[in-house]
Amino acid sequence: MGILDGKNILITGVITDSSIAFHAARLAQREGAQVVLTGYGRMSLVNRMAQRLPEPCPVIELDVTDDRQLATLSARASEHLDAFDGVLHAIAFAPQSAIGGNFMNTGWDDVATALHVSTYSLKALAAAMLPILRKGSSIVGLDFDARVAWDGYDWMGVAKAGLESCARYLARDLGPHGIRVNLVAAGPLRTTAARSIPGFDESDESWNRRAPLGWDTRDQTATAQACVALLSGWFPATTGEIVHVDGGAHAMGA
């Protein structure tokens, strides 16, 4: 019996099999969940990834900046599963001008894009799914420790700081509905999105040195396990929390 037996989960952000969301979707199915994926842009790629899961699953197109798609999301998702028990928010994007050491020169339009896609979308996704979320549901988002400024991360770091605050306000407002909202702050992982951040390669060895438990940037397993645990009923009184899955590096001094 898996910890997600009988649960229906919506998972965003699957692009390739290196995506944290792909590993979370695979583990969720192994733990008993029925899964629906969302994708944007490269839908043929997302559909191929859906076929590579232990149980091929439906894929819904979702641009989190498109109000029309958000307005129809619950209806489209319920065509596959009548109600849901969890949502994984694994969506983030910043234009190249907003990362890579260009912080002081980034224009508002690109900053606005980063905040819309990476921060506001958590609230937008939660609101869109609320009509079909059962009491006791869990919303989990993917984070990167926003307490400090990281080289090259720039406006994406600001967006993640906003995501952390957004999650706390969502926890406040969705608590009366019996819905929990938490984030998983993973260490650096070699995903498609991470490779677009200048200087990512330099973080590999340095993070491993700082992490008491060590850290493998090629292994998404621990992060996926944390996501699935929070999506389950094993944390019924935990909300507004950030769970660090980074080998303990966040707790160490520089």
CB 98 within 8 A of CB 114: yes
Give the pLDDT of residue 201: 60
Contacts of 239 (CB under 8 A, 6+ apart): 171, 175, 180, 181, 182
The rounded distance, in Å, linking the Cα atoms of 230 and 183 is 9
Which of 7, 40, 123, 153 is labelled catalytic? 153
Q: What is the pLDDT of residue 206?
A: 81
Per-residue model confidence as pLDDT tens digits over 229-251:
999 999 999 999 999 999 999 99
Are the beta carbons of 43 and 107 closer than 8 angstroms? no
User: Is-catalytic flag, 135?
Assistant: no
- The predicted structure's pLDDT at residue 1: 85
| 7, 40, 123, 160: the active-site residue | 160
Amino acid 181: pLDDT: 99
In angstroms, the Cα distances linking 215 to 27, 119, 165, 179, 224 are 20, 26, 27, 32, 15
Q: Residues near 67 by Cβ (< 8 Å), separated by ≥ 6?
A: none
Domain segments of the chain as ranges: 8-248
- 48 φ, ψ to 5°? -65, -40
Q: Which residues of the chain have pLDDT under 50?
A: none
- Report how far residue 217's alpha carbon sits from residue 190's, in angstroms, rounded to the nearest whole number: 6
What pLDDT was estimated at residue 199?
Answer: 60
Q: Provide CB contacts within 8 A for 176, sequence distance 6+.
A: none
Residue 71 CB neighbours (<10 A): 11
For the entire predicted model, the pTM comes to 0.95
What per-residue confidence (pLDDT) applies to 195? Answer: 60
Q: Is 160 a catalytic residue?
A: yes
| DSSP H or E run through 88 | strand 84-89
Give domain 8-248's CATH superfamily.
Answer: NAD(P)-binding Rossmann-like Domain (3.40.50.720)
